[in-house]
């Protein structure tokens, strides 16, 4: 375990040092393609590619990476077991429905759709991981403001609101304790759970809104939004490293798609069906 996930210290890899926007830019075309493909090979290729880039350029330990990615694989696999039973034939006649609901009537077409959908979701997730595991939320938001023209009032509101998250977690814990002390039954039936959820919701939201209002006042007191533009103490610019990475990633993405097309492994795109 060399570096902790999401750690941006000295040992950080290339990915951590890149502008968050360029990482997002790099993976977007590949994700667009993945939304549309129907064959199992393209997602597989991108799973391998995405995982490799993330581990090598992000200097993550493969063990840590697998710990995060493992559950995603399991999730994708479960599609394989469900879709065959619910997918209708391409003809879509009603008689096929009954047959497909029966547990034994697994259709070849259903299996294919299940595999493709599962792999597609997996590939999308793996590409997202490249970004997720190497980016701090706050830098992402700052970069969005500075490089992609997100209005700074929205960006900084989001940064401020992110600070509420850990407090909300401790709120939930405290409210649970407080209600236990009141003698609220700690049973686990669905009804009790729903009831408890509704009881928790009010104090949680009340606190969230109060926090939001107080923080907003504190921000106004410091001239937030006084001018249309603001200066930036910490700047995020697109460097040559960013351009190199984006070009590298795009080239390889196109390369993968073209190779698969050449090998005739690329199926029809959903939109064309």
Partner 1 sequence: MSQIQTHELRFRYRGHREWKPSCVSLDIDTGEFVLLLGPSGSGKSTLARCFNGLIPHSVPGELRGTIKISGRDVTETSQADLAKQVGLVFQNPSLQFVTSTVETEIAFGLENLQVQTSEISKRIANALDTVGLSGLESRQIDTLSGGEKQRLAIACQLAMEPEILVLDEPTANLDPRGTEAIYGLLRKLSRDESRTIVLLEHQCESLIDAVDRTLVLDSDGDLFLDGTPETVFGENPRRLRREGIWIPAATRLALELRSSGAWPGSTSLPVTVDQATDTLKDVLTKQRSREPWCDSQPSDGGSQPENSTSLSDRSVVRPDGATEQEPGDGATKSPALDICGLNARYGTDEKSNPVLKDVELSVPEGSFLALVGPNGAGKSTLAKHCIGVRSLPPETVFIDGRDVTTLPSREVSQKVGYVFQNPEYQFVTDSVWDELAYGLRQLDFDADEIEHRVQQTLERFNLTGYADRNPFTLSHGEKRRLSVATMLVVGQDILIVDEPTYGQDRANADALMETLSELHEVGRTVIVLTHDMRIIAEHADTVAVLVDGEVQFHGTPSDLFEDPETLSAAHLSRPPLAELADGLSGFSGPATLDRCYEHCTGEQTKPPTSDHDATFSSALDYGEER
Partner 2 sequence: MSALTKQLTAVRNWETRDLLVVAALGIIPGLALLPAVFAGFTIRAALGPLGTILNSGLFYLPGLMALYIVRKPGASILNGVFVGLVWIPLTPFGLAVTVPTIVARLGSEIPFLLTQYRRYDRSMMLVSGAAAGLLSLGAIYIPSSFQTLALPMQAALIVGHGLSGMILSGLLAKLLADKLAETGVLSAYPIVDDVDMRS
Residues 221 to 260 in contact with partner 2, rule: CB under 8 A: 224-225, 228
Of the ranges 54-62, 123-131, 221-229, 247-255, which one interacts with partner 1 (CB under 8 A)? 221-229
The 8 Å CB, 24+ separation contacts for 26-34 are 26/245, 26/246, 26/249, 26/250, 27/127, 27/128, 27/130, 27/131, 27/249, 29/250, 29/253, 30/127, 30/249, 30/253, 31/124, 31/127, 31/128, 33/253, 33/257, 34/120, 34/123, 34/124, 34/127
Residue of the chain from 132, 203, 250, 269 that contacts partner 1 (CB under 8 A): 203
Of the ranges 26-34, 86-94, 226-234, 248-256, which one interacts with partner 1 (CB under 8 A)? 226-234
Of the ranges 52-60, 74-82, 179-187, 242-250, which one interacts with partner 2 (CB under 8 A)? 74-82
Burial of 116 (0-12, 13-18, 19+ CB in 10 A): buried
- Residue 223 interacts, among partner 2, partner 1, none and using kind-specific CB cut-offs from 5 to 8 Å, with partner 1
Residue 174 binds partner 1 (CB under 8 A): yes
- Residue 96 interacts, among partner 1, partner 2, none and using kind-specific CB cut-offs from 5 to 8 Å, with partner 2
Q: How far apart are CA 24 and CA 183, in angstroms?
A: 49
Q: How far apart are CA 41 and CA 16, in angstroms?
A: 29
- Residue 100 interacts, among partner 2, partner 1, none and using kind-specific CB cut-offs from 5 to 8 Å, with partner 2
Residue 48 binds partner 2 (CB under 8 A): no
- Residue 176 interacts, among partner 2, partner 1, none and using kind-specific CB cut-offs from 5 to 8 Å, with partner 1
Query: CA angle, 22 as apex, 20 and 23 as ends, to 5°?
Result: 65
Q: How far apart are CA 202 and CA 248, in angstroms?
A: 50
Residue 30 binds partner 2 (CB under 8 A): no
Residue 8 binds partner 1 (CB under 8 A): no
Cβ-contact 151, 230 below 8 angstroms: no
Residue 241 binds partner 1 (CB under 8 A): no
- Please give the residue ranges that form the binding site for partner 1 (CB under 8 A): 138, 156, 159-160, 163, 166-167, 171, 174-186, 199, 202-203, 206-207, 211, 214-227, 229-235
């Amino acid at each position: 375990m060399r570096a902790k996930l999401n750690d941006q210290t000295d040992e950080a890899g290339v990915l951590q040092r890149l502008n968050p926007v360029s990482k997002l830019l790099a993976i977007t075309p590949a994700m667009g393609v993945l939304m549309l493909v129907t064959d199992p090979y393209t997602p597989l290729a991108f799973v391998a590619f995405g995982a490799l880039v993330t581990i090598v350029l992000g200097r993550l330990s493969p063990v840590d990476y697998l710990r995060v990615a493992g559950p995603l694989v399991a999730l994708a696999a479960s599609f394989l077991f469900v879709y065959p039973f619910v997918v209708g034939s391409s003809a879509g006649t009603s008689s096929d429905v009954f047959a497909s609901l029966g547990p034994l009537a697994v259709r070849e077409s259903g299996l294919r759709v299940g595999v493709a959908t599962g792999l597609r979701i997996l590939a999308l997730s793996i590409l997202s991981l490249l970004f997720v595991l190497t980016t701090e939320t706050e830098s992402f938001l700052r970069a969005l403001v500075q490089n992609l023209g997100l209005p700074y009032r929205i960006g900084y509101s989001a940064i401020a609101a992110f600070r509420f998250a850990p407090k909300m977690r401790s709120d939930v814990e405290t409210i649970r304790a407080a209600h236990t002390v009141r003698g609220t039954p700690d049973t686990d039936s669905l009804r009790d759970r729903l009831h408890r959820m509704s009881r928790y919701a009010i104090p949680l939201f009340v606190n969230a809104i109060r926090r939001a209002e107080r923080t907003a006042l504190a921000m106004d007191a410091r001239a937030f939004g006084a001018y249309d533009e603001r200066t930036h103490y910490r700047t995020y610019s697109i460097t040559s490293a960013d351009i190199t990475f984006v070009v590298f990633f795009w080239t390889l993405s196109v390369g993968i798609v073209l190779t698969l097309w050449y090998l005739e492994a690329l199926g029809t795109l959903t939109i064309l069906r």
